[in-house]
């Protein structure tokens, strides 16, 4: 969560800003929002606009990473032909 805030913001403004950020992050992660939440974002479109550029660019919560399988733990038996 963004903790760097411009000086002079009121607690209410900061709260709105962070709430918008939470909802935008949810959307970025593919989660659904309630109608009220969608309405909230519409209500604070200006904050949405300013927060969009501050969202992390890297993907969030993509699930488990790919992992290699180690096959070369031991030599396979070799039959001379």
Partner 1 sequence: MSLQMSEAEGAVKVEEWQQTFYAPDSGIQSGATTIRDEDSVSARAGESATDMEAQYSLTRAQRVRAAMFPETLVEGETALTAHSNPDQPTNVQRLAEPSQLLKTAIVHLINYQDDAELATRAVPELTKLLADEDQVVVNKAALIVNQLTRKEASRRVLMQSPQMVSAVVRAMQNTGDLETARCAASVLHSLSHQREGLLAIFKSGGIPALVRMLSSPMESVLFYAITTLHNLLLHQEGAKMAVRLADGLQRMVPLLKKTNPKFLAITTDCLQLLSYGNQESKLIILANGGPESLVFIMRNHNYEKLLWTTSRVLKVLSVCPSNKPAIVDAGGMQALGQHLTGSSQRLTQNCLWTLRNLSDAATKQEGLDGLLQILVSQLGSDDVNMLTCATGILSNLTCNNARNKALVTQSGGVEALIHAVLRAGEKEDVAEPAVCALRHLTSRHPDAELAQNAVRLHYGIPAITKLLGQPHYWPVVKATVGLIRNLALCPANQAPLRESGTIPRLVNLLLKAHQETQRHGSGAQQTYQDGVRMEEIVEGCTGALHILARDPINRGEIASMQTIPLFVQLLYSYVENIKRVSAGVLCELALDKQCAEMIDAEGASAPLMELLHSPNEGIATYAAAVLFRISEDKSSDYRKRVSVELTHSLFKHDPAAWEMAHAAMPLDPGYIPDDLDAVYPPYGYSDLPMDGLPLDAELHEQYMPEMTYDPRQVYPNPL
Which residues sit at the interface with partner 1, rule CB under 8 A? Answer: 1, 3-5, 8-19, 22-23, 25-26, 29-32, 34-40, 42-47, 50, 56, 60-76, 78, 81
Q: For partner 1, give the closer residue by CB, 31 or 52.
A: 31
| DSSP string computed for 53-70 | TTS-SS-----SPP----
Q: How far is the CB of 52 from partner 1 (least distance, A)?
A: 13
Q: How far is the CB of 22 from partner 1 (least distance, A)?
A: 5
CA angle centred on 25, ends 13 and 67, rounded to 5°: 150
Q: How far apart are CA 14 and CA 16, in angstroms?
A: 5
């Amino acid at each position: 969560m963004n903790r760097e805030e411009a000086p002079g913001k009121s607690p209410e403004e900061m709260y709105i800003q962070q709430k918008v950020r939470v909802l935008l992050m949810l959307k970025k992660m593919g989660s659904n929002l309630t109608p009220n939440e969608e309405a909230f974002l519409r209500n604070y479109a200006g904050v949405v606009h300013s927060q969009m550029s501050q969202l992390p660019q890297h993907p969030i919560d993509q699930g488990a990473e790919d992992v290699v399988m180690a096959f070369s733990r031991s030599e396979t038996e070799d039959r001379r032909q």
